[in-house]
Amino acid sequence: MIKKFAVIVFPGSNCDHDAYYIFKKHFNVKVDFVWHQENNLKDYDAVLIPGGFSYGDYLRTGAIARFSPIMNEVINDAKKGKPIIGICNGFQILLESGLLPGALINNKNIKFLSKNVTLNVETNNSIFSNNLNVGEKLTMPIAHKEGNYIAHNKTINELEQEDRIVFKYYRNNPNGSINNIAGIINKKRNVLGMMPHPERACDQYLGSTDGKLIFESILGS
């Protein structure tokens, strides 16, 4: 049972407070901001790497953040099985750190996209989706320019065959991602990266509460 979450904060993070608010107000879970220069996550049961523009997206999205001291701990904890979720820029950082395969490049139209999308749940064989039904549709926003997921054919085939694609865009693929991929997990199934923002879909005032289903899955594991 997850009792305490760490929300990692980099220079340029801008969705850290959204995630903190969700855990604190909607789920009454203990949560702390953890500055990227820290090097200890032993007090936390799970880690969230939020969206934003870490280091201003210089060089390449997530490329600099990947070398922050805290990421050594994130990598070590992931290897030990601790749940890690990276959202948007957090997904990009997880890819740069090697915790997930593939890369994210410019959207197919080379434009920043900010809108609601519909996701299809591809698997519930993960701690991030065990509260969901395969084929269930979720609505939540995206906000990115580099959300176009790519990988070698071998990697895509492995993701498909190993049931590691958790979410796909339904009907309308906004960014050109291969196979409509919106979220994937690692081989140990304890690390999730996704481009859409579930933390921005937890309150009816924001138009959807579907994001809560993902966090309920994590917190109930």
And the tokens for 123? 């698997």
Active site annotation includes 88: yes
Rounded to whole angstroms, the Cα distance separating 89 from 193 reads 9
Active site annotation includes 15: no
Classify residue 147 by burial, with Cβ atoms within 10 Å: 0-12, 13-18, 19+: buried
Q: Give buried/exposed letters for 168-198 (b at 16+ CB in 10 A, else e).
A: bbbeebbbbbbbbbbbbbbeebbbbbbbbbb
> Of the residues 96, 122, 146, 199, which is catalytic?
199
Active site annotation includes 152: no
Residues 6+ apart with CB under 8 A from 109: none
Beta bridge partners of 144: 113
Rounded to whole angstroms, the Cα distance separating 155 from 153 reads 5
> Of the residues 96, 122, 144, 197, which is catalytic?
197
> Of the residues 15, 36, 73, 88, which is catalytic?
88
Residue numbers annotated as active site: 88, 197, 199
